[in-house]
Amino acid sequence: MRRFALALGSNLGDSRRIFEQALVRLEATLGPLDVAPLYRTEPVSAISQPPFLNTVVLGSTRLAAGELLELTQRVEADFGRERNAGELPEGPRTLDIDLLVLGDEQRSGEAPLLPHPRLRLRRFVLAPLCDLAPDWPLPPDGATACELLGRLPDSPWVERLAEPLRCVKVASQSDRSVR
């Protein structure tokens, strides 16, 4: 089993509910996930758009990197994401799930790239990851999310929200709706 981190982001629709439902789908395959606090964050793009809601989840899996990527893209599609269909890079979306880290795996030639190539530059990823796993040494050099976060400027802003996501569980394999 390898430890992994996924980043979730949304700024269209009811982002909190989208996260709750996406977690049900992810946990149906991956098992229990640890969920970081929610953050409201400034978009990193010059495109005019509303703030994002972001979080990070941690778990353990035997899935290969490509299988984990396929799973996350299926969940994104469940919420209306159409990759490569005129979507603006760093533009608004109902759900974005990025594979940040999978064990100590490093990949540079084929998707998914690991660790995520912009992990070290994104306050909206490092802040919740620091909350959830402050001492986790990340590849390739063992720096922690908290150390990396401390090296970044204060912009774009990130704001931790007080209210966590509701706990949601799969009712049964045939009924995966949020209750």
**For the chain, counts of helices (H) and of strands (E):** 4, 6
Q: Could you give the CA distance from residue 75 to residue 114 in angstroms, rounded to a whole number?
A: 20
Q: What is the DSSP letter of 135?
A: T
Q: Could you tell me if 129 and 145 are in contact, meaning their C-beta atoms sit under 8 angstroms apart?
A: yes
Give me the active site residues, please. 81, 93, 96, 98
* Secondary structure (H, E, C), 52-87: EEEEEEEEEECCCHHHHHHHHHHHHHHCCCCCCCCC
- With both helix axes pointing from N to C terminus, report the angle between 65-78 and 15-30 in degrees, rounded to the nearest 10: 140
Neighbours of 32 (CB within 10 A): 10
Enumerate the β-bridge partners of residue 2. Answer: 61
Between the alpha carbon of residue 48 and those of residues 40, 84, 91, 138, the distances in Å are: 16, 20, 9, 33
